[in-house]
């Protein structure tokens, strides 16, 4: 049962990803061909592969991670707190190396939690680690494991209650569960522009941190527990 899990054994995470290049024309020729092949069946009329290249950040083979925020629960003075650390860097290998070092210092049975994590965050991180020549930490390594043997929690999957026909966004879940969320400076659709046009990683980091706070609050609601008070949320350097 969800409520029997010790919150201190859970790490909540979220990633922000973008295309590896700012524009389709900057790709090497063979990657242009590979991207065109990838999207050929999804293009709308009069739409080209170059037009949809901003979506390349959704695919680990063509995108990269520019921010990863992680948070852990803790108990102090009878109050549940949540502490966040973010890894934001244009050098993806440096970002992933730093995050892997954090995981390697934790127990191998640490539970990783994300919204839609099974379908996106967790596999994306693993693929990008391998592409960057890094070893996959034990907490992310599902090789040879059955689905129920993995240390993954997915808030969207928990909300489905076995119904695999629908996708429920993080914002929608927060709204129906009456979880207050701060007014967003940007949305997921803005990340490509904010990174490639504005080079503003700090705005993206703040957006990513809001998402893991929301995910942590959703997890509390799903466990039938009160929300974490704003003053109990802290940030590590």
Domain coordinates in residue numbering, the chain: 2-20+62-235
Nearest to 71 by CA among 173, 230, 176, 214: 214
Q: What are phi and psi of 10, to 5 degrees?
A: -115, 135
Which residue numbers in the chain have pLDDT < 50? none
pTM reported for the whole predicted model? 0.95
Chain-centre distance of CA 164, in angstroms? Answer: 20
Return the CATH architecture of domain 2-20+62-235.
2-Layer Sandwich (3.30)
Q: Provide the pLDDT for residue 183.
A: 67
Q: DSSP 3-state assignment of 235? A: strand
Q: Provide the pLDDT for residue 4.
A: 92
Q: Provide the pLDDT for residue 131.
A: 98
Run of H or E residues at 93: helix 92-104
């Amino acid at each position: 049962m969800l409520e029997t899990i010790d919150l201190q054994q859970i790490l909540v995470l979220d990633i922000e990803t973008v295309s590896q290049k700012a524009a389709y024309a900057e790709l090497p020729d063979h990657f242009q061909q590979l991207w065109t092949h990838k999207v050929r069946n999804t293009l709308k009329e009069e739409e080209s592969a170059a037009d949809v290249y901003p979506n390349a950040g959704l695919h680990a083979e063509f995108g990269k991670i520019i921010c990863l925020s992680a948070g852990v629960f803790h108990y102090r003075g009878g109050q549940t707190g949540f502490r966040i650390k973010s890894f934001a860097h244009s050098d993806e290998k440096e970002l992933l190396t730093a995050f892997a070092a954090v995981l390697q210092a934790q127990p191998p049975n640490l539970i990783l939690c994300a919204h839609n994590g099974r379908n996106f965050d967790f596999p994306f991180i693993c693929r990008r680690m391998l592409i960057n020549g890094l070893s996959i930490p034990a907490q992310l390594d599902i090789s040879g494991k059955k689905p129920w043997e993995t240390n993954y929690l997915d808030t969207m999957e928990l909300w489905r209650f076995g119904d695999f026909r629908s996708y429920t966004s993080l914002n929608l879940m927060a709204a129906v569960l009456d979880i207050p969320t701060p007014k967003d400076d940007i949305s997921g659709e803005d990340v490509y522009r904010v990174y490639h046009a504005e080079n503003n990683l700090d705005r993206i980091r703040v957006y990513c941190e809001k998402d893991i706070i929301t995910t942590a609050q959703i997890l509390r609601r799903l466990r039938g527990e009160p929300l974490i008070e704003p003053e109990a949320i802290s940030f590590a350097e």
